[in-house]
Amino acid sequence: MKGLNQQEFTAWADAYLRGELSHEDQLKFEMYCAENPANAELFAQHKAFLTTMKRAESRSNFKRNLEHIAQDYHKVHTPKPATKVISLWDRLKLNAAVAAAIAIVSVFSTLWLTGYYKNLRKATSDYSALRRDMNTVKRNVNAQNAAIQNINNTKDNTKDNVKETMHYGATGFMITKNGYVVTNYHVITGADSVHLQNHKGESFKADIVFTNPEKDLAILHINDSTFKSIKSIPYTFKRQDSDMGEDVYTIGFPRDEAVYGQGYLSSSTGYAGDTLAYQISIPVNPGNSGGPLLDKEGNVIGIISGKQKGIDGAAFAIKTKALMETLNSIPADSLNGKNVVLNNKNLLQNLSRTDQIKKLQDYVYIVKVY
């Protein structure tokens, strides 16, 4: 049977409830309800609604009967006939009660036919879902500082009368051949000086050129007479989002030696649905902050930023899209004529993973903050 609109179905349901259908038509109606759960639910609501109205009508009839009995009693026992004013009031009172009952039935029928109750249930359900989402966001916000552990863990080792130089270690990597390096903002915040050390043990002084606290990024520039510009960067920066489940790897300095880690993208968003970050299944350690995240082709797709406390292997990386936006935000006067020009030729693409790492580690630095 073709689908019926709500008005057609209601008329059919009323005929069924009034017993006006033949036995065959009753079976057809019951079969239709069984095949259409939504209409079956409407029928159940309509039946309950009519039952309520019948009860209300019965109460109204009972009340009217009582009034008639009372009127008859007063006619017999009252020596004087009621005045025209009182009789008129009695008729008006009865008519008002009937009109009110009709109005109530009309209002509830109109609400049911227009789908008000169905929309009300949907609105209530939507509100409950929204409230659950808001509670989830609230819990995420409250837990954010505790849930994301800075990979750059530090301690103040100050003793009674002994003052030691504060030293922090993390990771950064080169983004241009003329000495621009990216790391996390939380790595260099509050720094008096920053030095970059490569895997050969060579150290170079670096200036903080630009910071973006919201995206947790900092752009450094090597400002050291011993540093020589290199010919090219072997990797490129992927501007499009990578797919969940894609193989990725990183290299960083959780200790004085470079450490390799591999895994996959476990989510296309970061903590609490952050669209400018990935969640990755790579075990990271203190010091990995600021390290590059690369896909199997050797494209940089993100910058390691932190890990989720209490969950092994759940870490986060800022997408290269955020890096591009940060680079475009650097004022020209902060560059001092040394423009940021990214490499557009990938030299790692056709290499094995071990060969990729051999080339890559020359461009990854320990970030030492004093």
CB neighbourhood size of 290 (10 A): 33
Q: Considering just the CA atoms, what is the radius of gyration of the chain in Å? A: 38
Q: What does the pLDDT read at residue 71?
A: 75
Q: Give dist(CA 158, CA 129) in Å, integer.
A: 50
Extract the tokens encoding 69. 């009995």
Q: Report the amino acid identity of residue 229.
A: S
Q: What does the pLDDT read at residue 128?
A: 43
Q: What does the pLDDT read at residue 83?
A: 53
- 277 with 270: CB under 8 angstroms? yes
Extract the tokens encoding 370. 């004093």
Q: What does the pLDDT read at residue 359?
A: 93
Three-state SS at 15 = helix
- Verdict on whether the full-model pTM lies above 0.85: no
Cβ neighbours for 313, distance < 8 A, ≥ 6 positions apart: 263, 281, 282, 283
Extract the tokens encoding 163. 């003052």
Could you tell me which of 293, 295, 320 has the C-alpha nearest to residue 306? 293
Three-state SS at 93 = helix
Q: Give dist(CA 109, CA 333) in Å, integer.
A: 72
Alpha helices for 82-174 (secondary structure H): 84-113, 116-147
CB neighbourhood size of 240 (10 A): 10
Taking the chain, what is the end-to-end CA distance rounded to the nearest angstrom? 80
Q: Give dist(CA 247, CA 250) in Å, integer.
A: 11
- 167 with 156: CB under 8 angstroms? no
Per-residue pLDDT for the chain (370 aa), expressed as one digit of tens each?
656 777 787 888 888 888 888 888 888 888 888 888 877 887 788 788 878 877 877 777 877 887 778 777 766 665 555 455 555 556 656 666 666 667 676 666 666 666 655 554 444 444 444 444 444 444 454 445 444 555 445 444 444 443 345 456 899 999 999 999 999 999 999 889 999 999 999 999 999 999 999 999 999 999 999 998 888 899 999 999 999 999 999 999 988 888 999 999 999 988 778 899 999 999 888 789 999 999 999 999 999 998 876 666 689 999 999 999 999 999 988 887 788 989 989 999 999 999 999 999 999 999 999 8
Q: What does the pLDDT read at residue 304?
A: 95
Burial of 319 (0-12, 13-18, 19+ CB in 10 A): buried
Could you tell me which of 167, 156, 217 has the C-alpha nearest to residue 195? 167
Alpha helices for 252-339 (secondary structure H): 320-328, 332-335
Q: Report the amino acid identity of residue 74.
A: H
- 186 with 216: CB under 8 angstroms? yes
Q: Give dist(CA 225, CA 314) in Å, integer.
A: 40
Alpha helices for 5-83 (secondary structure H): 6-17, 23-35, 37-77
Q: What does the pLDDT read at residue 39?
A: 77
- 240 with 365: CB under 8 angstroms? no
- 281 with 314: CB under 8 angstroms? yes
Q: What does the pLDDT read at residue 33?
A: 82
